Chains A and B, each alone.
Chain A
């Protein structure tokens, strides 16, 4: 059992709206990464937070932003939603920024549908 939880499980939003997705990291993990997985595609790296600071970002526009809290839970915020933002959003936590593969665990994801 990985211990990474995400909420909500799924939601539906309208184009132009804003959305906040939440992730609770596994106990003892201070690093969280967020990924976007479109249907039929592999996950794409959005950004990573280490000890409440963003320290890595993929090729996503600024309307994708995040927060990490002192208890290492995390939020992904997306503004001005577009139809192409419809995807499964995954968070993954690990105990350090150097990302040993065997130490990173994914949550079940939040499925976002933008209409």
Chain B
């Protein structure tokens, strides 16, 4: 079983739709939970992060973490064609000697159709 599972999609939605992206994880030691957006041929950029269970909202984006179920979600409201990208969930874990590493999901490719 992989430490982080994410449905790779692809996911195609009409403009204005609500998008739901999800990840599950198995390592209870994970701390920060993050969502990155990656456009084609670019590096990932951090969208949102959260430390504790619950919801965190930023504009059209809401990140949700349920540590008891080891499940995280990202919701995008009023989706726009510019939201078309690959969305990666990531979790921070300790890799020893005072360093931390990110463990990523596979990424979900999202297309928002005008």
List chain A positions with a Cβ less than 8 A from chain B. Answer: 2, 4, 33, 35, 40-45, 48, 50, 55-58, 90, 92, 97-99, 101-102, 104, 106-109, 111
Contacts A42-B88, A42-B107, A57-B95: A99 and B43 contacting too (C-beta < 8 A)?
no
A to B CB contacts below 8 Å, 23 in the list: A2-B43, A40-B106, A45-B102, A45-B103, A48-B95, A48-B99, A48-B101, A50-B99, A56-B95, A56-B99, A58-B101, A98-B100, A99-B100, A101-B32, A101-B34, A101-B46, A102-B46, A104-B46, A106-B44, A106-B45, A108-B42, A108-B43, A111-B41
Check: B98 CB closer than 8 A to any chain A CB.
yes
Per-residue interface assignment for chain B, residues 78 to 114, with 1 indicating a CB less than 8 Å from any chain A CB and 0 otherwise: 0000000000101010011111111111110000000
Provide the bound-state CA to CA distance between A4 and B43, in Å. Answer: 10
List chain B positions with a Cβ less than 8 A from chain A. Answer: 4, 6, 8, 32, 34, 41-46, 49, 88, 90, 92, 95-107
Question: Contact partner of A106 among B41, B43, B99, B103, CB < 8 A?
Answer: B43
Q: Are B105 and A56 in contact (CB under 8 A)?
A: no
Provide the bound-state CA to CA distance between A98 and B101, in Å. Answer: 9
Contacting residues, chain B, for A55 (C-beta < 8 A): 96-99
Provide the bound-state CA to CA distance between A108 and B38, in Å. Answer: 10
Q: Are A107 and B43 in contact (CB under 8 A)?
A: yes
Q: Are A42 and B105 in contact (CB under 8 A)?
A: yes
Provide the bound-state CA to CA distance between A98 and B97, in Å. Answer: 11
Contacting residues, chain A, for B105 (C-beta < 8 A): 42
Instruction: Report the minimal beta-carbon distance from A83 to chain B, rounded to whole angstroms.
Output: 20
Provide the bound-state CA to CA distance between A33 and B44, in Å. Answer: 13
Contacting residues, chain B, for A42 (C-beta < 8 A): 4, 6, 88, 90, 104-107
Q: Which of A42, A45, A104 has the most CB of B within 10 A?
A: A42
Provide the bound-state CA to CA distance between A22 and B41, in Å. Answer: 17
